[in-house]
Amino acid sequence: MSARAFPALLASVLLTLLGLSSHSAALIVPMTGWTPLNGDANYWADASGQCVMREERHGQAFPQFTTPDDARLFAVKLQSSLGRSVSNVVTQPVDRSGQWGVLAAYDFQQSGVKYRVSQLYLSDRGVLRTVTGSSAAQTAPACVTDMRDFIRYLAN
């Protein structure tokens, strides 16, 4: 696959995983070299185009977890649900200033390419908001660690 086709394929994967786009406040990606794709501040790629992130508001109700146990219960259900369509699913609660979200990581295959996905599930005033990052699983581009750390520790 050419380097130029790779970002388009990653974009296709994220859109497949997340469904239709919706509008929300712009995601702030504090990493050097990351830029919004096609002027969409909810959809970012690193300078090489090997890692992409997308923030999305889904419009469906999603509870605010106030305890790690509540988030853990959802994480277990999410792991089971995701496991029906993707592989190597791992979920865990994550703290966001006293509110809890759930972080999921899994492998997704499309067009013969396996992708490693990190996806953060948050409640934004009772509405589901996700921050999703993806890169090809077969490669280890430099952007992966920063992307996963951003989703794990900083995105909120």
Q: Domains in the chain, start-ordered, CATH in brackets?
A: 5-154 (3.40.1000.10)
123-153 tens-digit pLDDT: 999 999 999 999 998 887 889 999 999 999 9
101 in Cβ contact with 65 (< 8 Å) = yes
Q: Name the pLDDT band for 26 (thresholds 50, 70, 90).
A: low
Strand 99-110 relative to strand 113-124, pairing: antiparallel
Give the distance from CA 13 to its chain's centroid.
11
Q: Name the pLDDT band for 25 (thresholds 50, 70, 90).
A: low
Q: What's the whole-model pTM score?
A: 0.81
